[in-house]
Amino acid sequence: MDKKALADFLRHRREMLRPRDVGLVEGPRRRTQGLRREEVAQLAGMSTDYYARLEQQRAPQPSVQIITALARALRLTLDESDHLFGLIGHNAPARFQPSEHVSPALLRVLDRLHDTPAMVHSDLIDTLAMNPLAVALLGDQTRHTGLARSGFYRWFMDPAERLLFPEEARENHGRAHAARLRAALTTGSDTARAARILGELTAHSPEFVRMWELQEVASRYGDCKTILHPELGRIEVDGQILYTENRAQALVVLTTSPGTESHSKLELLSVIGSQQLAL
């Protein structure tokens, strides 16, 4: 681990970013060039003291999870992320696993969306990032690990996943998942992982097998859907999608029609958030 080179690189990347680049408010009395250390720590989900020790060359070797969080917080490109892994003494993730690195371009758009739910998905429906309103609407979908990171896997293996959707829509939703998994199996960014998901679902979900045998193929999201929020009830949303160039990741933006009950519910949710609703 090259502590000096690491400290210089982190400091330089931090100073290159402005608060507005990561969705933070830039106050009128701001004197710091770029982001503050505590802001990077907040974005990466670590303590300010630990991040400060990294820049001061006093910290032990960070874990892979911390490096990944730092790369995301500093909006590093894939090449810059690989360099960061090298400075710390870890092997960079294989390039055929793009879901480990969120597209900086999509993150920049996500950072600017405050009044509508938005999230970044991989083509296996791994939820890679969510804004606060998306978490309030859908729950934290970034918390899953292993094969359960994939929305394909969770839909057929976790009954709680279906509680977000009305019963009459679940058949079509499941068929859409099976059709998109088929596309990911041959043209996706991680066909090996798609094959593992297919194997598990084939072995454990008769419902999936029935839908898989329909031989349907699709690679796009549904345009309109109904979300069942546990406190606010039915919310009708339209999905707008922005893909990366290789279509391995997508920014999903959920909107409601102005003047509708669903729009009012989303406005209420944006004001009070998930914590106050839980109380």
In this prediction the pTM is 0.67
DSSP 150: B
At 219 the pLDDT is 66
Alpha helices in the chain (DSSP H): 3-16, 37-44, 48-55, 64-73, 78-88, 104-111, 132-138, 151-157, 170-187, 191-204, 206-212, 261-278
Rounded Cα distance, 151 and 174, in Å:
11
Strand order in the sheet with 233-243: 127-130, 118-122, 249-255, 233-243, 224-229
| Tokens, residue 84 | 């960061």
| Tokens, residue 82 | 């690989």
At 96 the pLDDT is 44
Rounded Cα distance, 46 and 34, in Å:
19
At 35 the pLDDT is 85
The stretches in the chain having pLDDT less than 70 are: 27-28, 30, 32, 78-79, 92-100, 219-224, 274-279
Please answer whether residues 77 and 219 qualify as being in contact, where contact means their C-beta atoms are separated by less than 8 angstroms. Answer: no
Domain architecture of the chain: domains with CATH: 3-93 (1.10.260.40), 104-278 (3.30.450.180)
At 208 the pLDDT is 96
At 98 the pLDDT is 46
CA trace torsion 149, 150, 155, 158 (10° rounding): -20
At 97 the pLDDT is 47
Rounded Cα distance, 196 and 179, in Å:
16
